[in-house]
Amino acid sequence: MASHGQADYAVGIKVVPLSIIDGVVAVLIAADDGRHVLPGGALLAGETLEGAAQRILADEARIDAAYVEQLYSFGEQHSVTVAYVALVAGQGFAAPLKISSDLALGEVIVPWAGEAGGPVEVCSPGGEQLALAAGEAEILGQTMLRLRGKLDYSGVGFALLPERFTLRELQDVHEAILGVRLNKPAFRRRMLDKGWLEATGERETGASFRPAELYRYRPTKGA
Amino acid sequence: MASHGQADYAVGIKVVPLSIIDGVVAVLIAADDGRHVLPGGALLAGETLEGAAQRILADEARIDAAYVEQLYSFGEQHSVTVAYVALVAGQGFAAPLKISSDLALGEVIVPWAGEAGGPVEVCSPGGEQLALAAGEAEILGQTMLRLRGKLDYSGVGFALLPERFTLRELQDVHEAILGVRLNKPAFRRRMLDKGWLEATGERETGASFRPAELYRYRPTKGA
DNA sequence: CTGCCTTCTATGCATCTTGCAAATTAGATA
DNA sequence: TATCTAATTTGCAAGATGCATAGAAGGCAG
């Protein structure tokens, strides 16, 4: 290979599996000799980029159903890595964590407000900060930035919820991603006015108080 | 190379050079045997992705100064292409068009409203629709979608203006990208309230009517 | 069965933002 | 100096948002 000519590259894929658990943004990471790494691997011959992301998500994070979206591509010396975010609904992390002892749960702590951007921190459920492999904190930061930007005008938030959900659960998702508390009546009005929500007529069960109505996401043309 | 194993890929770069000319979104494309193609080329050894985009922009589009931002990566059979958008200020397309007869100017026509997304059309200054190479209309559509989404909360709009500009010029940029007419007093208020603009005290020259104040973009921390 | 507790849901209102129209200002030009 | 055009400012109506309050609907204890 010439030092400054056209070259071949290995193409890697990296996936950020995110979910909302108990009102906080959670990431599924692999424990790898002290450091924690995001699920990743090589793009194989014949695969699409997104297909590879889905495969890696299934193989390494044991997740079969997720909304996957491309984030950003990074060039290194002889390789290029394409990062994807995978939004996992409801309790989708529970099974993988039970199956595989290599996987760990991290809480994403965003140390900046609004759309400022920058790296984030990841803590264990116990509260200690986890060591991340080089560059992972920045990728996670990009992920949070992207989600914050798209939350309001796109349907990404619904990818983090089961098919039927209450307005309170939807608000919890928004509050976790944005990192701020939202006003309940105002949030409810805004969401209903967007026309994205369809009331199912069913109610939430198991609550020891007035049950909330269950809604369904109905994507509109143009979002 | 195994049919389904790890493989090496050629990495290509594609650049979308955009500018605002006479209130419309303009793209600089290369005429290539009937079809029109966006400037592109291979990532060379030792280059960063963005460095390659800048080099291709200089070599093929003859543009030296531009705000460059990564858009999206596409995987094909044995290659991966990373697309960049390059925002060129003011009359930055004039010199390249004079120097190189391979380059052509296209007006970007967005056939969808708001954030709906989809491919766009490109017309010559004369008004005839130009034939684009496969996939280029989708990349241009992604570009417009990205710009529309970021225009309001980021400084991308200022990359399309010279260092000093009037509020009317800024509004022209916004109207061209968003594809809608904006209310003048409301736009002025909104922009000034963001705190991004610094009045220079100077006035525009050459107008046969009241000259507008020239402003400068002053990025704030957190944008 | 009744009262209590919690949360969902709806409503009213002050505040802020935005859209629109009209008035005013400032330079060039005849 | 009068006239012209567009910049800039101002006022107000309409809409969106934040906040507090009131009513509704379940489970649960007595």
Q: Which parts of chain A are beta strand (E)? A: 8-21, 24-32, 35-37, 40-42, 67-75, 79-87, 103-109, 121-123, 164-165, 197-203, 213-217
| B203 has a pLDDT exceeding 70 | yes
**Could you report the per-residue pLDDT of B100-120, keeping only the tens digit for each?**
999 999 999 999 999 999 999
Q: Quick one: residue A147, left, alpha or beta (phi over 0 = left, psi -120 to 50 = alpha)? A: alpha
d(C-alpha B29, C-alpha B62), whole Å? 11
Task: Provide the pLDDT for residue B6.
Answer: 75
Would the CATH topology of B10-150 be identical to that of B156-217?
Answer: no
Give the mean pLDDT of B53-61: 98
Instruction: Give the right CATH number for B156-217 from 3.40.640.10, 3.40.50.720, 1.20.20.10, 1.10.10.10.
Output: 1.10.10.10
Helix ranges, A66-194 (H): 94-99, 136-150, 167-178, 184-194
pLDDT per residue, tens digit, chain A (223 aa), is: 444 567 899 999 999 999 999 999 999 999 988 899 999 999 999 999 999 999 999 999 999 999 999 999 999 999 999 999 999 998 999 999 999 999 999 999 999 999 999 999 999 999 999 999 999 999 999 999 999 999 999 999 999 999 999 999 999 999 999 999 999 999 999 999 999 999 999 999 999 999 999 999 999 754 4
Averaged confidence pLDDT in chain B: 94
Q: How far is the CA of B208 from the C1' of D11 (A)?
A: 29
d(C-alpha A51, C-alpha B75), whole Å? 10
Q: Which residue has the higher pLDDT, A31 or B137?
A: B137
Task: Provide the pLDDT for residue A2.
Answer: 40
d(C-alpha B91, C-alpha B99), whole Å? 14
| CB-CB neighbours of B2 under 10 Å | 8
Flag if A44 and B4 touch (Cβ within 8 Å).
Answer: yes
Task: Provide the pLDDT for residue B4.
Answer: 56
What's the whole-model pTM score? 0.94
What are the residue ranges spanned by the domains of chain B?
A: 10-150, 156-217
Q: SS3 sequence, B180-220?
A: CCCCHHHHHHHHHHHCCEEEEEEECCCCCCCCCEEEEECCC
| B2 has a pLDDT exceeding 80 | no
Residue B62 structure tokens? 């003859």
Question: Å from B154 to nearest chain A CA?
Answer: 9
CATH class of this structure's domain B10-150: alpha beta
Q: Rounded to the nearest 10 degrees, how much is the dihedral formed by the CA atoms of A188, A194, A199, A205? A: -40
CB-proximal positions of chain D, under 7 Å: 4-11, 16-21, 23-28
| B82 has a pLDDT exceeding 70 | yes
From A6, A43, A47, residue closest to B44, measured CB to CB: A6
d(C-alpha B39, C-alpha B56), whole Å? 7
Q: Say whether residue B94 is in contact with chain A using an 8 A CB cutoff.
A: no
Task: Provide the pLDDT for residue A131.
Answer: 96
Q: Are B103 and B62 in contact (CB under 8 A)?
A: yes
| CB-CB neighbours of A23 under 10 Å | 11
Q: Are B41 and B12 in contact (CB under 8 A)?
A: yes
Task: Provide the pLDDT for residue B221.
Answer: 59
Residues of B in contact with A155 (CB under 8 A): none
Task: Provide the pLDDT for residue A221.
Answer: 58
Strand D protein footprint, C-beta under 7 A: A 182-183, 185-187, 189-190, 193, 203, 207-211; B 166-168, 184-185, 188-189, 207-213
Please name which of A56, A50, A45 lies closest in space to residue B5, comparing C-alpha atoms: A45
**Cα B191–Cα B194–Cα B199 angle in degrees, nearest 5:** 65
